[in-house]
Amino acid sequence: MQAELDSLNKRKVFGPIVITPKAVKPVGYKWIFVRKRNENNEVIRYKARLVAQGFSQRPGIDYDETYSPVMDAITFRYLISLAVSKNLEMHLMDVVTAYLYGSLDSDIYMKAPEGFKIRDALSSKPKEMYSIKLQRSLYGLKQSGRMWYNRLSEYLISQGYTNNLICPCVFIRKTTSGYVIIAVYVDDLNIIGTHEEIHEAIVLLKKEFEMKDLGKTKYCLGLQIEYLNNGILVHQSTYTEKLLKRFNMDKANPLSTPMVVRSLNVDNDPFRPCEDNEEVFGPEIPYLSAIGALMYLTNCTRPDISFAVNLQARFSSAPTKRHWNGIKHIFRYLRGTIDLGLFYPNNSKEGLVGYADAGYLSDPHKAKSQTGYVFINGGTAISWRSQKQTLVATSSNHAEVIALHEASRECVWLRSMSQHILTSCGLEKDQNPTLMYEDNAACVSQMKEGYIKSDRTKHIPQRLFSYTRDLIKDNQVDMRYVQSSNNSADLFTKALPTTTFRKHVHDIGMRHVQRM
């Protein structure tokens, strides 16, 4: 606690102690205590943090804009694949008390914390009458994240770094000898480049901010990064083990797939909504907590459980025993695949490739289908999605058209993001169209020919055809047919038999730590 107060005084966070003005409502404070852990789940540091109770701030008075961008997981995975392919190093830096560097954009007063010394001249009145005017963005304030990002962004840009609205948390600097990339996630800075450029970037950052040098990036945001002779493996073994222990599934019998193959009979479907005669679980069953924990795993390194988690999340408002058994089935699958992760090889010459698919009537109870797509860069997945469609598809062709439209939108952003990074680094960008594979031959033909009104297509919105068709005409996308057995997006649209499931998991670049 004393170390935290010393840091606050060093950063000149606290302004003068004043009698609280009549029109001001000072925010409260709270001490937060945290155990910081490493990739082996070992406690490495005990940390105390003085936090402002920002929930009492009033919009338009105490703050205006609060949005602060952070690096998304897709961009981070792309940067890892770029680092592997270009033989670059990855270095992790942590900014000490990052939020305290940001200046506030409005006047904010905080109640005087316990133990805070008040001048003798002011001590004659009750302590409750006084408050401290904050000069820096203290943790807990609604605009603190934004103020810190603005401060870091202004400094890096002034030092010759460039960034773009496409990926605002990626800062790139081109030098005569190479280039360096700084990927920002709040106060964690991943620096990617050659050894000399990384050293120069570290010196530059240390001039302005107090930094902790964490060395080679091995553990970041719960992701474990293993450096192998033939590439990099990204996994979340420690997080998965912690998750299984949390839900008392660490000694469960492992299973080979994350969910059972569903019955075509609506009445026998184990994943049907809650019925009138079924008991709905209350808050004593941690269903929502399990869904949230699994979603983080899904979004970072485990695309193999995307469909199962998406399906189970639909019943969060009224889960029953059947649905909870489905959650435990996923946990049992994780129990047998704790060390499974995404492997980025250093010998792959493959560029960006996309796969799209749709599961017709994946939700037979509401007549909705499922969109699934995955984009692979360098032989390994960097972006994927499994999502129930919002429109009711009247045929499998209709469902595939919707899925291709969604995949095309993601493809445009991926191309923009990757080309911006490559261009800023002075690297040669891929001028060829992105290959996108689809297992519905009629759908591929329709996309190439454009919208043609007929009895089969007159009810489908023309925009679903036009957008993808324009991408094909502009030479941004090359649509091709692929057999269903080789369509990796099939993994994201339905429950699959064990053999097919394992094939697709292998095809998108997932490997076990022990087998590398």
CATH of the domain at 359: 3.30.420.10
Q: Which of 103, 104, 47, 92 is nearest to 187 (CA)?
A: 92
Q: What share of the chain in percent tops pLDDT 90?
A: 69
Domain boundary among 275, 303, 336: 336
C-alpha dihedral (432, 433, 435, 441), degrees to nearest 10: -130
Contact 81, 344 (CB under 8 A): yes
167 shares its domain with 306? no
Query: Residue 250 carries which DSSP code?
Result: T
Q: Is residue 344 part of a domain?
A: no
Range(s) of the domain holding residue 31: 1-221
**Contact between residue 173 and residue 65 where contact means Cβ atoms under 8 Å apart:** no
Distance CA 78, CA 75 (A): 5
- The Cα–Cα gap between 507 and 490 comes to 11
Average pLDDT over residues 216-221: 92
Domain count, the chain: 3
Would you state the pLDDT for residue 172?
Answer: 97
Classify residue 475: in a domain, yes or no: yes
Confidence category of residue 303, pLDDT binned at 50, 70, 90: very high
Which range is least confidently modeled, 6-20, 74-88, 161-175, 338-352? 6-20
Q: Judge if 217 and 248 occupy the same domain.
A: no
Whether 117 shows a pLDDT value over 80: the answer reads no
Whether 144 is in a domain gets the answer yes
Same domain, 172 and 289: no
Residue 212 predicted with pLDDT over 70: yes
Neighbouring C-alpha atoms within 13 Å toward the C-beta of 241: 9
For position 463, what pLDDT does the model report?
Answer: 83
Contact 132, 116 (CB under 8 A): yes
What's this model's pTM, rounded to 2 decimal places? Answer: 0.92
Do 105 and 1 belong to one domain?
yes
Q: Are residues 152 and 15 in the same domain?
A: yes
Assigned domain for 167 exists: yes
H helix and E strand count, the chain = 12, 21
- Per-residue model confidence (pLDDT) at position 120: 54
Among 124-128, 136-140, 447-451, the range of highest mean pLDDT: 136-140
The least confident of 113-122, 238-247, 296-305, 365-374 is 113-122
Residues 298 and 163 in one domain: no
Say yes or no: 24 and 142 in one domain.
yes
User: Which strand ranges, in their side-by-side order, compose the sheet holding 219-220?
Assistant: 219-220, 223-228, 231-235, 340-345, 510-512
pLDDT at residue 33 greater than cutoff 70: yes
- pLDDT higher than 70, residue 453: no
Q: What is the mean predicted confidence (pLDDT) over 298-319?
A: 95
- Integer Cα distance of 388 and 391 in angstroms: 9
User: What pLDDT is stored for residue 44 in this prediction?
Assistant: 87
Query: Per the domain annotation, does 503 fall within a domain?
Result: yes
Looking at the fold, whether 17 and 108 belong to one and the same domain comes out as: yes
514 in a structural domain: no
pLDDT score of 261: 85
In the predicted structure, residue 301 carries a pLDDT above the cut 70: yes
pLDDT bucket at 123, cuts 50 / 70 / 90: low
Is 513 within 8 Å of 233 (Cβ atoms)? Answer: yes
List C-alpha distances in Å: 475 to 34, 404, 435: 52, 16, 10
Of 281, 306, 336, the position where a domain reaches its end is 336
Which range has the worst mean pLDDT, 211-215, 383-387, 457-461, 497-501? 457-461
**Cα–Cα dist 327/313, whole Å:** 10
Q: What contacts 248, CB < 8 A, 6 or more positions away?
A: none
Name the token pair of 366.
């509401």
What value does the mean pLDDT of the chain take?
A: 91
Reported confidence tier of residue 516, pLDDT bands at 50, 70, 90: low
Q: Rounded CA gap, 71 and 75, in Å?
A: 7
Does one domain contain both 278 and 181?
A: no
Identify the top-confidence range among 109-118, 215-224, 449-458, 500-509: 500-509
Residue 210, phi then psi, degrees to nearest 5: -80, 120
pLDDT the model gives residue 115: 61
Residue 197 pLDDT > 70 = yes
Domain end: 221, 247, 263, which one? 221
More confident residue, 31 or 516: 31
Q: Is it the case that residue 122 has pLDDT exceeding 70?
A: no
With pLDDT > 70 as the criterion, what percentage of the chain qualifies? 96
pLDDT class for 207, splitting at 50, 70, 90?
A: very high
pLDDT at residue 230, as a whole number: 92
Q: Which of 11-20, 203-212, 231-240, 423-432 has the lowest mean pLDDT?
A: 11-20
**Whether 370 and 485 share a structural domain:** yes
139, pLDDT greater than 70 = yes
Residues 217 and 282 in one domain: no
Query: Would you say residue 203 lies in a domain?
Result: yes
**pLDDT, tens only, 255-289:** 999 999 887 778 888 888 888 888 999 889 999 99
Strands 179-185 and 167-174: antiparallel
Contact 359, 439 (CB under 8 A): no
Q: Which of 16-20, 188-192, 249-253 has the lowest mean pLDDT?
A: 16-20
| pLDDT category of residue 461 using cuts at 50, 70 and 90 | confident
Residue 447 has pLDDT above 70, yes or no: yes
Which one, of 9, 81, 106, 8, lies nearest residue 376 by Cα? Answer: 81
- Regarding whether 192 and 151 lie in a shared domain, the answer is yes
Q: Is residue 443 situated within a structural domain?
A: yes
- 217-252: b (≥16 Cβ within 10 Å) or e: beebbebbbbeeeebbbbbbbbbbbebbeebebeeb
